[in-house]
Structure 1
Amino acid sequence: MKAISYRRYGGPEVLEYGDRPDPKVGPDKVLVKVRAAAVNPVDWKCQAGYLDTILDAFFPVVPGWDVSGVVVQPGVSVPEYAVGDEVMGYVREDALCHGTFAEYVAAPVRTLARKPRTMDFAEAAALPLAGLTAYQALHRALRVRKGETVLVHAAAGAVGSLAVQLARHMGARVLGGVRESGAERVRELGGEPVAYGAGFARRVRELAPDGVDAVLDTVGGEPLRSSPQVLTPEGRLASIADGEVVNLGGLYFWVRPDADDLTALADLAEGGVLKVRVARTFPLERAADAQRAAMAGGLGGKVVVTLDED
């Protein structure tokens, strides 16, 4: 099969397009013909070696954790799927080796859900990692309840925009920390934008004089450090981006594959609750360019690698 891989740590320049062995389909896996694979920051962080202390890398590594595609072969202990089923997944395993930037991926069944019928393959590939991160952070880390006020940092970003939609669906009022360019996007999603910069905490307090009940940080740095100033005395704080949150009394949260949670996201997407914006697509052989575009940012949506149907 054709795939993207890298033989050493580095930036986009280490990505190679070429032939790789077809994946083996273990008992609990599903062979998926890939139609799209989204680019995520964790891809280039893994590729640069930043996660080397927690994830072994078996070179050459095929990058990518997000995928959508069509089932080619279910494993012998997988009755959930049949040939021809359209699926999406957050295909993270315990080591870096067999990723989704390839014509085929053997995905553990625990990482998959049926693709929303209302989404094309590119949109479906852009949902799993970012969507699961927002969903699990709001439900498990922050335990958001109806009637509460939630502040989402970087609310116009990939995870942030989904968190705004999910928190609104959960019955919360949502304030969204944004740069000026993201304000209209947050309004479209039902949130109330709050501009970053000097006086940010004061502006949040003007909208929520008693403080906010929960803060979801998706960016780290100064927005995270400002968060304790805007929380109620019993407010909850979680970050997916910066371990410094622990020193601020909050929780450092990592997403994990979960088929039930992913199915819940698919149902919400089919019900019109969740929308994903795809900014650019690139063919598989141009995955390095896709990664560069995603790293540059400012696109207002996800970057996705797509493959032809045949």
Structure 2
Amino acid sequence: MKAVLLPAYGDDSQLKYEETDIPEYGHNEVLIRIRATSINPIDYKMRSGAAKGRFPVEFPGILGRDLAGEVEAAGSDVSGFPKGMRVMALANGTYAEYAVAKAGVLSPIPEALDFPHAAALPLVTLTGAQLIERAVKPEANQTILVTGALGGVGRTAVHVARKHGTRVLAGVRASQRAEAQALGAEAVVALDDEQEIAKLHELDAIADTVGGTTIERLLKSIRSGGVLGSVLGVPEGAKKYDIRVEAFTAQPDASRLYELAEDVARGEFSIPIAYQLPLSRVQVGHRMAEAGGAGGKIILIP
């Protein structure tokens, strides 16, 4: 099969589109013919070595977390996944024509979604949902600020928080204000406007997808006993405040992924796609993703 191999940490030139062996699958695993995958920030952080403390790569490695494709074969203990079934998952090693995943992480793809749109979902939607449901754990009528609300994780967090009956503030850059109005949040806050930040008081929680100096400036806006949920670790300044900090890493959840994909299929929220590229152009995709400003997910088609 063709796959993108990473022989060592480095820039995008380290990504090699080459021939390699189809992976073997175990008795409780499924071999998937990948029809689409996507690029996430963790991919280029793993490639560069920036994330090696949390996610070390065993070289030569195959990156990629989002899987959308068709069942090719299944192990002896697997049932319910016939050959040709369309499936998606938060998995590993998806920059390839084939990948192996445990049956328990696989979800069917809703009929209304094609492979590219399904491939845009697993990591960002599960991260966004778990940011709200497992980290923030909101109660109805609480006020939650979601930072980076126009990213894939942020869009999902806004959607999930609204479904839990909370008052959601969408935090974006001032230049994104008009676009963010379509998210359905109670209000839009420009996080690069000090006057708007100064008006934030007694927030019950912040669901943070941005990190850095932005969240450091926002910590004082959380009420005593409030919550900071973060996908980027614990901010240095958080220890100065009487708040609960919940930093986490997303985990596969097949049933929740299917529910979120159904919400997307019904038009309740969306994860925009900016570009679709052949897997062989993965270096270009990584450069575009790292540069930022693509306006949506970059999909890779094996």
**TM-score of Structure 1 vs Structure 2, range by shorter chain:** over 0.9
In structure 1, what is the equivalent of residue 199 of structure 2? 203
Given that 2:155 and 2:269 are in contact with CA atoms closer than 8 Å, whether structure 1 keeps it comes out as no
Give me the whole-angstrom Cα distance separating, in 1, the residues matched to 2:233 and 2:176.
21
Give me the whole-angstrom Cα distance separating, in 2, the residues matched to 1:183 and 1:116.
31
Q: Secondary structure at the match of 2:200?
A: helix
Q: TM-score, normalised by structure 2?
A: 0.92
Q: Counterparts of 1:85-164 in structure 2 under 5 Å?
A: 85-92=85-92, 99-164=93-158
Alpha-carbon distance change, 268 to 285 in structure 1, aligned in 2, over 3 angstroms: same
Which is worse superposed, 266-275 or 15-24?
A: 266-275
Cα drift, residue 56 of structure 1: 4.2
In structure 2, what is the equivalent of residue 67 of structure 1? 67
- Tell me, yes or no, if structure 1 residue 181 matches structure 2 residue 183: no
In structure 2, what is the equivalent of residue 208 of structure 1? none
Alpha-carbon distance change, 25 to 150 in structure 1, aligned in 2, over 3 angstroms: same
Give me the whole-angstrom Cα distance separating, in 1, the residues matched to 2:136 and 2:87.
29
In structure 2, what is the equivalent of residue 96 of structure 1? none
Give me the whole-angstrom Cα distance separating, in 1, the residues matched to 2:215 and 2:295.
22
RMSD: 1.7
Cα drift, residue 261 of structure 1: 2.1
Given that 2:190 and 2:197 are in contact with CA atoms closer than 8 Å, whether structure 1 keeps it comes out as no
Match of 2:285 among 269, 286, 290: 290
Give me the whole-angstrom Cα distance separating, in 1, the residues matched to 2:73 and 2:292.
36
Q: Deviations over 1:124-160 (max 9, x none)?
A: 1111101000111101111122222110011111211
Give me the whole-angstrom Cα distance separating, in 1, the residues matched to 2:145 and 2:205.
6
Give me the whole-angstrom Cα distance separating, in 2, the residues matched to 1:263 and 1:145.
24
In structure 2, what is the equivalent of residue 239 of structure 1? 230
Q: Secondary structure at the match of 1:82?
A: coil
For 1:11, the aligned partner's letter is: D
Given that 1:201 and 1:229 are in contact with CA atoms closer than 8 Å, whether structure 2 keeps it comes out as no
Count residues in correspondence.
Answer: 296
In structure 1, what is the equivalent of residue 216 of structure 2? 225
Q: Secondary structure at the match of 1:26?
A: coil
4+ runs deviating over 6 angstroms? none
Cα drift, residue 81 of structure 1: 1.2
Given that 1:66 and 1:129 are in contact with CA atoms closer than 8 Å, whether structure 2 keeps it comes out as yes
For 2:253, the aligned partner's letter is: D
Q: Deviations over 1:178-222 (max 9, x none)?
A: 1123222321010221112323422334xxxxx222110101012
Give me the whole-angstrom Cα distance separating, in 1, the residues matched to 2:98 and 2:89.
13
For 1:199, the aligned partner's letter is: Q
Given that 1:221 and 1:242 are in contact with CA atoms closer than 8 Å, whether structure 2 keeps it comes out as no
Alpha-carbon distance change, 138 to 63 in structure 1, aligned in 2, over 3 angstroms: same
For 1:183, the aligned partner's letter is: R
Q: Secondary structure at the match of 1:251?
A: strand
Q: TM-score, normalised by structure 1?
A: 0.90
Which is worse superposed, 194-203 or 218-227?
A: 194-203
User: Percent same amino acid at aligned positions?
Assistant: 35
Q: Deviations over 1:87-131 (max 9, x none)?
A: 111104xxxxxx101111111223221112222211111111010
Q: Deviations over 1:253-278 (max 9, x none)?
A: 21111222222222322333231100
In structure 2, what is the equivalent of residue 95 of structure 1? none
For 2:280, the aligned partner's letter is: E
For 1:230, the aligned partner's letter is: S
Give me the whole-angstrom Cα distance separating, in 2, the residues matched to 1:20 and 1:85.
24
Q: Secondary structure at the match of 2:68?
A: strand
Cα drift, residue 165 of structure 1: 1.6
Given that 2:33 and 2:71 are in contact with CA atoms closer than 8 Å, whether structure 1 keeps it comes out as yes
Cα drift, residue 169 of structure 1: 2.1
In structure 1, what is the equivalent of residue 81 of structure 2? 81
In structure 1, what is the equivalent of residue 189 of structure 2? 194
Given that 2:147 and 2:208 are in contact with CA atoms closer than 8 Å, whether structure 1 keeps it comes out as yes
Give me the whole-angstrom Cα distance separating, in 1, the residues matched to 2:280 and 2:74.
27
In structure 1, what is the equivalent of residue 3 of structure 2? 3
For 2:40, the aligned partner's letter is: N
Cα drift, residue 35 of structure 1: 0.8
In structure 2, what is the equivalent of residue 264 of structure 1? 259
For 1:150, the aligned partner's letter is: I
